[in-house]
């Protein structure tokens, strides 16, 4: 059962906002110093000060999440041809401008005695070129044989050496001439 009520709300320091319980905003018209609201069904009244507090809280939460997702830059002298450990969301940079970030992991659910695969996803950057690439570890469930991927990107070759799911990987990077 729906009905139509016109509600006049004063334009005081604390104005009120009306929201339909179905999540739809009710229509509103500005008439002089009054808000004229047309209401269909039941409504919830939320004071503007509460609305602003909720907006502030949501903005603060988003800022906190984006701060937590930022990767750290690991400052070391990285050398080509040596084992390099990449931790999740940690950026490493080489003197020639190569930058690598280990962003996330995924895996394939194996069938009984079937192939297994776990993948690490990297963000590779140099100069103004940025690409997402992956390195995987492959095997057969229940068998000790494991194969580690390698990948070519620009003048670099990346060889996966160790894999610690959701934590880190170790790679060797060689620069081709």
The residue extents of the domains of the chain are: 4-69, 72-175
Take residue 46 and report the two structure tokens written for it.
């939320």
How would residue 56 be classed by pLDDT, with cut points 50, 70 and 90? low
Cβ-contact 35, 21 below 8 angstroms: no
- pLDDT, position 35: 42
Quote the pLDDT of residue 118: 96
Place of tokens 């050398």: 79
| pTM of the model as a whole | 0.58
Confidence of residue 10 (pLDDT cuts 50, 70, 90): very low
pLDDT of residue 132: 98
Find out whether 77 and 94 touch, Cβ atoms under 8 Å: no
């Amino acid at each position: 059962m729906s009905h139509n009520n016109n509600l006049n709300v004063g334009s005081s320091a604390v104005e009120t906002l009306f929201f339909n319980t179905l999540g739809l905003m009710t229509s509103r018209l500005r008439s002089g110093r009054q808000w004229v609201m047309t209401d269909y069904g039941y409504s919830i009244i939320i004071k503007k000060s509460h609305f602003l507090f909720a907006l502030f809280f949501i903005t603060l939460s988003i800022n906190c999440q984006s701060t937590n997702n930022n990767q750290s830059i690991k400052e070391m002298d990285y050398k080509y041809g040596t084992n390099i450990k990449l931790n999740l969301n940690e950026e490493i940079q080489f003197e020639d401008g190569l930058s690598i970030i280990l962003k996330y992991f995924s895996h394939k659910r194996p069938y009984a005695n079937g192939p297994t695969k776990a993948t690490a996803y990297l963000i590779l950057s140099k100069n103004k070129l940025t690409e997402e690439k992956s390195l995987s570890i492959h095997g057969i469930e229940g068998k000790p044989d494991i194969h580690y991927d390698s990948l070519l990107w620009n003048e670099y070759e990346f060889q996966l050496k160790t894999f610690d799911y959701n934590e880190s990987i170790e790679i060797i990077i060689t620069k081709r001439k």
